[in-house]
Structure 1
């Protein structure tokens, strides 16, 4: 049987909660979404505000708009990310400054950030790659020195910690999580914005739904006439449905169990693959949590086959893999717009040419993982 690269784990609790939402007649943003937002706020702690959205991409866009990014501004992020991280900057007419990664953690290199700051720079968007936190203290120091905002792309980082604090509870302006189908918990499509700023939260809530200054749920369920509203800004259509939120309510409850399983599977990979010609992923510092959204291997130069050959070898044995990521500087749009070359990002480019992500998901059985391990050992010994 085929072993997919990723697979969500959904149980009867999620199915029943979705069915309840359908039976209620309220299927768009409503009581389930409010419940999900409240539960997520309580999970992160520190009195954070939460705004559920239909994707992490939408959340990043709302975050940048709320902090004031616009025409002529620059936002710094890593080249080693999915295009969504950068494309939201262009939505607002601003420009992206891409920088290289740390060769060990594969997270954004703080010193590379410092080198590209200009008077136009307004924000930094660190990406917690694969579920390992960035060096946030150094990034905060740089932001403080130059008066920059910070929006964390935490699509991989639930429930990652930095210095024993959950990502989402740090002092960044905004943090955005993803609940896409392959993430550490899922609502199918969806995301959550987290901020400690009431001002930013208010702005993002208005912009989430067409710039309307009243909650549609409040208007449509009110027993008194409540039809009047005002459009106060040219907003977006980024709200999360109650059908999706119904899944999220129970996925969040199961997150500790999901984390434990991911940690277990990651440890089994470490134990079984250490003698192969591979660079294994960086672990979280002592006392911190790596979410293990991804388990990314890099082939050493003495490996008996290259990355593409290994991917095909595994595919022939019905094992799915992926590559995270084709760096942005290699994509035609980003390359041509900013005249980027591989030589400008040596660490990211070197990692890309050697990397593949192997299956790691909570519904994966030990027997399935053993098949992946056996295939890798067959290929690389």
Structure 2
């Protein structure tokens, strides 16, 4: 049996709305983009949402719109997809890493204040794997020190912390809708904020620096082509119409995995805690020390089960080693997690038969890799 790592959930409604766009004359920055923005803003409970071409472009615009620039520092996590740190470097600021909590795998808030310097301008927590970071503590620290907060919620649409939606508390939140995400626009992302001024600046910069009321070839800010097209937004509208259904499907798959994997020795399941609503982006287990994760992966892939090592830590990526001189041992919790985590096939319509096969092959792999 071949089981893919992810598979988008695209139905008739998505096709209808995409065809509706194709039947018209507007393919970029039209009514579907505006509708998608309104739906996301309402869902998150924020004033503004700005659709962009990707989560990465959204993070870049958020950093730039807040005036973070050369010589500034932004505190973030090394256990993330590399874009959360790259977006800081785009503006010649520097990411300053804080190690992670070994249970939640999110940035450890107890380590943040020790990294604050006169150059610190912001904190950029990442809601890793759809689990919200400890935003109550992070927001208190930011308020105390006069820092901005940019929430990387690219993996966390629909997640909440003590009833507050991920991406709704910071100065800006950013979501991504790549095909492996909970909802997809094929390519695309969105910036959430309660600041009308920040939203307006991001809207201008995503569209080559243009602003409403000016001529098309007037460029009032340094801008980029970070626009979302109408076809992508049409997908997003259809997906948002059934986001509750989609998230419920993913939670059901996660619970089914928990029930099956709970009996396996050598496997640690995703950490659960009260007050946290996980939006299941991926299903990531951790293998005990002494079990070769690479050998497990090789066996799974030989048997047709796709899998990934989520995440290699950012500070040990070749570019970051060469540029900043990071070494193994700098952030031990992130490094231990990175060496043990394994993402299993996970998507809305994963079948019981597929899950049974994944667990069966995983058990075989562990017995061979121990």
TM bucket, shorter chain: over 0.9
Q: Deviations over 1:109-140 (max 9, x none)?
A: 11222221111010110000001110111111
Q: Return the alpha-carbon distance in structure 1 between the equivalents of residues 322 and 147 of structure 2.
A: 27
> Is contact 2:161-2:275 (8 Å) kept?
no
Q: Return the alpha-carbon distance in structure 2 between the equivalents of residues 20 and 343 of structure 1.
A: 54
Quickly say closer, same or farther: Cα 1:228–1:177, change in 2 above 3 A: closer
Q: Which residue of 2 aligns with 1:277?
A: 266
- For structure 2, list consecutive stretches of 5 or more residues without a partner in the other structure: none
Q: Return the alpha-carbon distance in structure 2 between the equivalents of residues 108 and 188 of structure 1.
A: 29
Matches within 5 A, 1:214-293: 214=212, 230-275=218-263, 276-283=265-272, 285-293=273-281
Structure 1 residue 297 and structure 2 residue 285: aligned? yes
Q: Deviations over 1:36-60 (max 9, x none)?
A: 1111112112x42010000010100
In the TM superposition, what is the alpha-carbon distance from 1:227 to its structure 2 partner? 5.1
Structure 1 residue 88 and structure 2 residue 87: aligned? yes
Tell me how large the CA RMSD over aligned residues is.
Answer: 1.4
Q: Which residue of 2 aligns with 1:175?
A: 173
Paired residues in the alignment total 366
Q: Return the alpha-carbon distance in structure 1 between the equivalents of residues 216 and 252 of structure 2.
A: 53
Q: Which residue of 2 aligns with 1:64?
A: 63
In the TM superposition, what is the alpha-carbon distance from 1:374 to its structure 2 partner? 1.3
Query: What is the TM-score with the length of structure 1 in the denominator?
Result: 0.93
Secondary structure at 1:342 match in 2: coil
Structure 1 residue 37 and structure 2 residue 37: aligned? yes
Q: Which residue of 2 aligns with 1:24?
A: 24
Q: Which residue of 2 aligns with 1:2?
A: 2
Q: Which residue of 2 aligns with 1:370?
A: 356
Quickly say closer, same or farther: Cα 1:329–1:288, change in 2 above 3 A: closer
Structure 1 stretch displaced more, 271-280 or 21-30: 271-280
In the TM superposition, what is the alpha-carbon distance from 1:229 to its structure 2 partner? 5.5
In the TM superposition, what is the alpha-carbon distance from 1:180 to its structure 2 partner? 0.6
Q: Which residue of 2 aligns with 1:219?
A: none
Q: Deviations over 1:55-83 (max 9, x none)?
A: 01010011011111011101111001111
Secondary structure at 1:3 match in 2: coil
> Is contact 1:75-1:124 (8 Å) kept?
yes
> Is contact 1:195-1:201 (8 Å) kept?
yes
> Is contact 2:309-2:343 (8 Å) kept?
yes
Q: Which residue of 2 aligns with 1:14?
A: 14
In the TM superposition, what is the alpha-carbon distance from 1:291 to its structure 2 partner? 0.6
Q: Return the alpha-carbon distance in structure 1 between the equivalents of residues 123 and 301 of structure 2.
A: 38
Q: Deviations over 1:232-261 (max 9, x none)?
A: 111111010000000000111121111111
Which of the residues 320, 327, 341 maps onto 1:355? Answer: 341
Quickly say closer, same or farther: Cα 1:228–1:334, change in 2 above 3 A: closer
> Is contact 1:214-1:229 (8 Å) kept?
no
- For structure 1, list consecutive stretches of 5 or more residues without a partner in the other structure: 216-225
Q: Which residue of 2 aligns with 1:222?
A: none
Which of the residues 307, 316, 323 maps onto 2:293? Answer: 307
Q: Return the alpha-carbon distance in structure 1 between the equivalents of residues 117 and 167 of structure 2.
A: 27
Q: Which residue of 1 aligns with 2:331?
A: 345
Query: What is the TM-score with the length of structure 2 in the denominator?
Result: 0.96
